[in-house]
Structure 1
């Protein structure tokens, strides 16, 4: 093992650690489930049975393979990977294959993570820049019931915030199998004027179990100047992230079974990429007895060059590698005013808000490549996409046992697309606009004393996700010049749920939710081909049972089960099942930290078998996976941790697909037309990483 890391980020890391030393009234309500350890059972008031908050205390002892697995603290949400660790993860929730984020919206410090009209896929949500140790809270909602939520909030949303000050400065050093290495240094300092500067720097690398070493190199830094709290203060944050890696994509399972390639071998060499995300953001909030205000603004410089060849050798033995390139500036902001109207207005709370976002995409392109060298441009476009959202929401306490929330949101989208290159792009591009008005309604009954304090919820609403602008302005298929039908810029969704939340014992929060969702279209822009693929309208429904128990002795136990069914409204390709919609997931987690010498966590995760194609004849393999974290405090200045990921060395697949691909031997033999445009349908897999041990040391100052 070695640290092959740039000197400058390492210097920033050491500077962060050493230069910055630590320095509704009268109305009874059941409060919001907060899945965190603390002195109180419940914190905040909930509008639905399926929302909650995860705090940094619970995340601290979760064994994590990847940063985005922070989101697995959201009950029922699954995070996987089908490529290299520098690429955005694959997400699953409520019967949705969220791909890389098309139906689940995430913000970090008020900045959107999902990328519109992205080179690889609509809503691309790359969370590899997260530093889990800095996360103060993850607030999540499921469904389309909050007026504050706009684009991509179909299955749900999460809002991730960072701490404003640290209890102590620290340096973390991590080493592990397969050349895993990580250095994180962080600290905060409070000045005499009350402002606090938090700074952190991270450098890490990892080769992985792959025959072709991943060579992942990540550099990350955060500088945050703040005053006050999130509800009454301000913060300015600068973030810097870049990464490059070599990827092993998913491969045909038959290539592994025949012995043509090993279980962890690539189909083709030198896939992978490089990416960066540099941002500057500001947040401000003030709250008083009768009103509250908040506002934020941000600017993001983002880029990606992604090289992939998942289809192998359809066109010949030189392979089918392509590059998806994206360069953009994203800027925008939001503001909200709330009024607390008092007992004369039944303790109503009125909120008015607005948000604006603009993506200035200098170039978004698809290029054919060989060994990362461009041989042909399939298409390249310049995009300007803007959106404005306005919303109003009214919460009213009608009786001690009855409160309601009613909201209305209106979103307006405008976009311009200009074709820059590509043989058949001359007729593509132009201007397009769309709008969506989304009503929301919620009713809460309780609290009652049924098996403990209980509340019952009913929610209904409309929402949407935006489509790729290139699909909305398409006239010609860039691959073959055939006619293409433009698709709507906005895909509408509507849904509802009923649920109950109860506290059977002190510290035990349990919620049960029945939900349903309709999506107007499963249209997806296929970045690998530069075209839009229609998949039809769909319906989903399901049930979720989530439990969180904190008895108060440093132990936190959480257990979740989620079942769903996803179906197309009309038959497609011989069936109505939505591919890669996981019908059953479960998780069980235990963390323990009473402040003594020993601490740690254990997590079990279950993924049920899911349909790989519309008929359901081909299904994935169901599996359990377990991971462990164990820690020991030598003193209040020094501690060690051991993470054992995939504890029982489970042999399964992180993700499975069904589709066409060709191996090198099939292309040479011309099997099924491979090598000359044909392909063989079959199971495409990306294996779970084998058991991995990672040792960490933290020094505090």
Structure 2
């Protein structure tokens, strides 16, 4: 806080230029008005403006002011939020783009089906499947897809180009008014750069059939900047049945700043197809009938594409900052999976296809301003968020990717509106508060091929938020947070009355499910170069979204409770060395008694990560990342558990000149033969009893591999 306040003399002339911001600064008469300084920096344009979600990113003010120092004291609303800078993103060694999210403390990213499909996410005692309670956005565009054919909140990050990422901001828990659906466990926002310092040409090649090419650059045009990037990627993986993964990515962006107004417009395109390597039964591997790198149904796989057009505009005036974010996305997924093999259909097998085609459009509006009352400066933010999804999805019974019959087919219209207000004020030198409220309104209209599952539903929910921040004392700040949030359920579940497969009667699910969180934590910068935080949390869910392994989708389940803690530390003792450590432990249980047990299948318990990076040390650079993925209960009574998994990735590089560098990346350097993910359910192999065999099913960690990358700047 003292270091942030010390910045005030350098910026006072700029503050006086904007009468609105200047009056806000004058109104704050506390000895160290760090919050108002941050607000003024935002409103005068010295610091960064609002983020794509439309709210002031005060933590970025601190980061920009202090370079690579992660000190958010005086700006953060909780101990669990933070910013991962571009420098850190560039230093990470990732097997697939979604693993960039592992830079978030306590978050694990894995996969149960090779490439092309969305990642699996684990955090805060959750198996988040493909994103059920983790809100992910890129350039302000929500990645989570509602009422998706393969599970609620499906979040596919394969369109992400890491070299274009400018920063990654994360916040955990339901304490933030601008975060709506899917954010109960946390929210992650990834921004893209407007301008590259130099053009990028990258070519990478490795074993397991890996090859990647990237070209990106930016130029001045029409008073602004045009940025473009194009990526091609192929990979076969270590599997006996080659993945034959083929991907293209393209980005075209124009940005401009004109006086107090700045805007950008961005087009993105992505497409991929692949052969899948889904989880396999442990009994088949132990019997030697298949290899750990083999598959039961080699025709599994999929294809996907995503095209988006987005724009963002920010205007600064004496009345504050107004932010508008508008986007539209067209996406398509055809996924072929077989998790139970020959249990339901002994003749043709149990392969099914989940199809999802949608047009997603959204408009986000916000306005931030400061007013004075009783000698205090109040920061206010009001926002509105609108989203429309036009969805066609279906479930088909297939054999070797050929349709046999349609199990269900649905046309879904899903509309939502979110309204929020947030107020921040520094009441005393050592005490400030952030209070907010959010209301969400949802409309569902489902037209099913079975009229008994068609219908309309409406639901709404209002959630309060409150954060109390004390300190700092000895460069340490303390936080107390309370808030409620929600996740939406699949629209089809909100209108269905019969199971489309069995024809049995089923109960409709609640469209919106409340979560309630409590948290206490601290953040400290007591040692030079060290930023550390400790958080204790509790989260209650009115209904758990649970991944069902033999169905390949998520279903609403019982109420649940999670309790745990997280600790993280970022240490930069000098200009060439950084060390990043985090560990989290959570206890996740269903609430209420049930004879089946109260453990939540797949819920993560312990997770830890450690990374070290070296740069600016002559021509050499490098990094290492160690990851611990703890045990999980696989069934409610905890009679079946997964093992823990430890992996090590790293890279070493050499700067050939100012414009060229070469790097060697290594994955699974320990040669771990553990599992990326485990499930326990019933399946049937040829010759087994008709009722099937309950067994553990797993997807193995990819074997050790290496990639060589040559990068040139122009």
Q: What TM-score do you get using the length of structure 1 for normalisation? A: 0.91
Q: Secondary structure at the match of 1:577?
A: coil
Aligned CA distance change for structure 1 residues 556 and 228 (closer, same or farther; 3 Å): farther
Query: Deviation at 1:462?
Result: 0.6
User: Paired residue for 1:332, among 362, 385, 388?
Assistant: 362
C-alpha separation in 1, matches of 2:68 and 2:598: 48
Query: Deviation at 1:426?
Result: 2.7
User: Paired residue for 2:466, among 433, 441, 455?
Assistant: 441
Residue number in structure 2 paired with 1:194:
223
Kept in 2: contact 1:468–1:525 (CA 8 A): no
C-alpha separation in 2, matches of 1:371 and 1:229: 56
Instruction: Determine whether 1:178 maps to 2:208.
Output: yes
- Kindly provide the CA deviation profile for residues 236-260 of structure 1, in whole angstroms up to 9, marking residues without a partner as x: 0000000000001001011111101
Q: Secondary structure at the match of 1:59?
A: helix
Instruction: Determine whether 1:234 maps to 2:263.
Output: yes
User: Paired residue for 1:428, among 442, 446, 453?
Assistant: 453
Query: Deviation at 1:45?
Result: 1.0
C-alpha separation in 1, matches of 2:457 and 2:401: 34
Query: Deviation at 1:41?
Result: 4.7
**Structure 2, unaligned runs of 5 or more:** 1-23, 26-31, 39-57
Q: Secondary structure at the match of 1:347?
A: strand
Kept in 2: contact 1:174–1:694 (CA 8 A): yes
Residue number in structure 2 paired with 1:590:
612
User: Paired residue for 1:111, among 141, 153, 175?
Assistant: 141
User: Paired residue for 2:121, among 48, 68, 91?
Assistant: 91
Query: Deviation at 1:354?
Result: 0.3
Aligned CA distance change for structure 1 residues 618 and 549 (closer, same or farther; 3 Å): same
User: Paired residue for 2:695, among 682, 689, 697?
Assistant: 682
Residue number in structure 2 paired with 1:694:
707
Residue number in structure 2 paired with 1:150:
180
Kept in 2: contact 1:120–1:527 (CA 8 A): no
Query: Deviation at 1:535?
Result: 2.4
Query: Deviation at 1:525?
Result: 8.1
Kept in 2: contact 1:121–1:527 (CA 8 A): no
Give the number of aligned pairs. 660
C-alpha separation in 1, matches of 2:326 and 2:574: 39
C-alpha separation in 1, matches of 2:63 and 2:88: 8
C-alpha separation in 2, matches of 1:337 and 1:700: 39
Query: Deviation at 1:194?
Result: 3.1
Query: Deviation at 1:42?
Result: 2.2
Aligned CA distance change for structure 1 residues 649 and 530 (closer, same or farther; 3 Å): closer
Q: Which aligned pairs between 1:379-394 and structure 2 lie closer than 5 A? A: 379-394=408-423
Residue number in structure 1 paired with 2:19:
none
Residue number in structure 2 paired with 1:411:
440
Q: Which aligned pairs between 1:339-378 and structure 2 lie closer than 5 A? A: 339-342=369-372, 344-361=374-391, 363-378=392-407
Aligned CA distance change for structure 1 residues 182 and 680 (closer, same or farther; 3 Å): same
Kept in 2: contact 1:581–1:610 (CA 8 A): yes
C-alpha separation in 2, matches of 1:626 and 1:247: 24
Query: Deviation at 1:38?
Result: 3.4
Q: Which aligned pairs between 1:297-308 and structure 2 lie closer than 5 A? A: 297-308=326-337
Q: Which aligned pairs between 1:292-331 and structure 2 lie closer than 5 A? A: 292-314=321-343, 315-331=345-361
Q: Secondary structure at the match of 2:436?
A: strand
Residue number in structure 2 paired with 1:13:
none
C-alpha separation in 2, matches of 1:215 and 1:134: 26
Q: Secondary structure at the match of 1:389?
A: strand
Residue number in structure 2 paired with 1:642:
664
Instruction: Determine whether 1:62 maps to 2:92.
Output: yes
Aligned CA distance change for structure 1 residues 592 and 230 (closer, same or farther; 3 Å): farther
Query: Deviation at 1:261?
Result: 0.3
Residue number in structure 2 paired with 1:131:
161
Q: CA RMSD of the aligned region, Å?
A: 2.1
**Structure 1, unaligned runs of 5 or more:** 1-23
Kept in 2: contact 1:378–1:530 (CA 8 A): no
Aligned CA distance change for structure 1 residues 695 and 638 (closer, same or farther; 3 Å): same
Instruction: Determine whether 1:216 maps to 2:245.
Output: yes
Query: Deviation at 1:662?
Result: 1.8
Q: Secondary structure at the match of 2:100?
A: helix
Residue number in structure 1 paired with 2:512:
490
- Kindly provide the CA deviation profile for residues 185-234 of structure 1, in whole angstroms up to 9, marking residues without a partner as x: 1000023x430001000000100000100000001000010124999621
Q: Secondary structure at the match of 2:390?
A: strand
Residue number in structure 1 paired with 2:500:
478
Residue number in structure 1 paired with 2:112:
82
C-alpha separation in 1, matches of 2:79 and 2:259: 24
Aligned CA distance change for structure 1 residues 28 and 299 (closer, same or farther; 3 Å): closer
